[in-house]
A and B are shown apart, each in its own frame.
Chain A
Amino acid sequence: MAVAHTGIQTGENPPAAPAQPEARKHGPWLGIFTGIVIAYLFVPIIVMIAFGFNNPAGRFNFVWNEFTFENYTTLFEIRELTEALRNSLVVASISTVISTIIGTLIALALTRYRFRGRSGLNLFLFVPMASPEVVLGVSLLALFVTLGVGRGLMTIVIAHIAFSISYVVVTVKARTSGLDTNLEDAAQDLGATPMTSFWTVTFPLIFPGVLAAGLLAFVLSLDDYVITVFNAGGTSTLPLWIFGASRIGVPTQVNVMGTLIFMIGVVYVIVALVRERRQR
């Protein structure tokens, strides 16, 4: 019996192996294609980084002139650009905190409780994601004009929260839906109040999802031009200012800011990979 058992086991093991010769059979073309596409994605990034070290001859930073570090040392010397960057960071921080809280609450309600109107709510949350940004932007503008609300930082924050909530819900839901509700029940059976069981059991489990959602909301906010342009009034954010400046020549410092934001991404990727390796 024991012999027969091991016999079956060895018979069952090999199916994992044939994946290798199968891979070789396909040839290298798919891999080469993938490499080319990824290289193509990096083309504008490399150009951006390189021209951050350029000292352009005229207003437009289009042609290589001479190497300089000056754009890095004078990074914050263009007052309007620095102010636009500060506005962007303020808007992104406030809207991220609020939309992450609101969105997480919705995600918890959707996955952990049964109530009437659930599918309706799902549809309601899907529509903002399925609408073109320009429509979201102008509809808010129409509302603010009708109500006579002056546009500025406040209205930008409101607009950014409105479009991030759905993305937060979707991201957090991916984490909460796989959660075992028995854990929370067990905590309460052992005498924990609902509040205590939430903060000591549920929240730590969904935290990675909340963090990812917050990061997404922050990036979406920092990057947004279309919705912002309709609700900004005279206030400028980083994308708005750069877009406006593109007509008369974008200062080289913009390349440097792009490079630094890109480097934050690089650090994030390295940290993610190192953590993954450690877990293995």
Chain B
Amino acid sequence: MRETRRRRIAYLLLVPGVLFLTVFFLIPMFTMLSTSFMEGTPERGFDFTGHWQNYMESFSDYDTQIYRSLVYGLIVTVVTLALSFPLAYWIAFRGGRRKNLYLLLLLLPFFTPFVIRTLAWKQILADNGIFLGPLKDLGVLTDDFQLLATPTAVLGGLIYNFLPFMALPLYVALERLDPRLLDAASDLYSDRRQTFFKVTLPLAMPGIFAGSLLTFIPAVGDFINSELLGSVRTTMIGQVIQRHFLTTLDFPAGAALSFLLMAGILVGVFLYARALGTEELTG
């Protein structure tokens, strides 16, 4: 009697959330899926064709941008991991009583809005700006050297903006690790290398996995960094999708590209989970 009552309460608590997400997340996804098999424009209306044509065409038209976005996402994930791991390790094990202070210092810059932060990088990297200007005046760099509008600038922006998404989960995983395990390893004659690879790294794996997903997925789909810091040679798939929906109004092709992006990400995540041997983390 009490069990059924409790169950009814649970369903009652879920109603608003599930209803909202069904109407504004699930149904839109299905709308998009059907749109990707249509042809037409918002004014003329869409006709359902049921063909894979949009997928084939958008893939052959924009394979460079899809490929580029996935590669950028991969580079960003690897670099943020390389930067965040020592950082998270130091805060977790050597931070002592100031741990939380260091952690908050790490997060503080990200209180500033994303667009403003990225614009500040645009200003710093500008051709004759505060960084390159003096170097050019000193003759260290030639006058035509530029950072803005290059892949380096876009990757730099992405790495900067997504660093906390990697650092936080890593820190949480490392902080939970009992330092006595490391002592035990060295007591049992393991050297520092062995301790790292056999104790620290395996125990940090859930953090590495979560951090990589939280970095890779938004980085692949991002278009602010490429739009503000890049050029046509750094165009990412997010920008192409945006143009389809807001400029050329080719919804079917845009929808097909969105699902191609999702598919690319899913394949990447799946391969990554298998490589790490952490399938159980995805379920």
Interface residues in chain A, defined as those with a beta carbon under 8 Å from any beta carbon in chain B: 15, 18-19, 22-23, 26, 30-31, 33-34, 37-38, 40-45, 47-48, 51, 61-64, 101-103, 105-106, 108-109, 112-115, 121, 124-125, 127-128, 130-136, 138-143, 145-146, 158-159, 161-162, 165, 169, 219, 222-223, 225-226, 229-230, 238-239, 242-243, 246, 250, 254-255, 257-258, 261-262, 264-266, 268-269, 272-273, 276
Contact = CB atoms under 8 A, between A and B. Distances in A.
B129 A30 contact: no
Interface string B225-238: 00110000000001
Interface centre among A106, A134, A223 (most CB of B within 10 A): A134
B7 A33 contact: no
A222 B113 contact: yes
Interface in B180-227: 180, 182-183, 186, 213, 217-218, 220-224, 227
Contact of A162 (B6, B20, B120, B242): B20
A139 B163 contact: no
A262 B111 contact: yes
Given A30-B94, A61-B123, A132-B221, A19 B28 contact: no
**DSSP majority for the B interface?**
helix
B265 A132 contact: yes
Contact of B122 (A132, A239, A246, A276): A246
14 contacts: A33-B86, A41-B106, A45-B112, A45-B120, A105-B16, A109-B9, A145-B42, A158-B24, A162-B24, A242-B116, A250-B119, A265-B112, A266-B108, A272-B100
Contacts of B265: 130, 132
Interface string B42-81: 1000000000000000000000000000000000000000
B241 A63 contact: no
B218 A133 contact: yes
B246 interface: yes
A249 B190 CA distance: 59
B108 A114 contact: no
Interface string B81-106: 00100110111011000001110111
B130 interface: yes
Interface in B156-184: 160, 163, 179-180, 182-183
A15 B183 contact: yes
Q: Which 9 A-B pairs have the closest CB atoms?
A: A132-B221, A265-B111, A113-B10, A44-B120, A139-B28, A109-B13, A258-B116, A143-B28, A106-B17
B251 interface: yes
Given A15-B180, A128-B21, A139-B32, A273 B100 contact: yes
B255 interface: yes
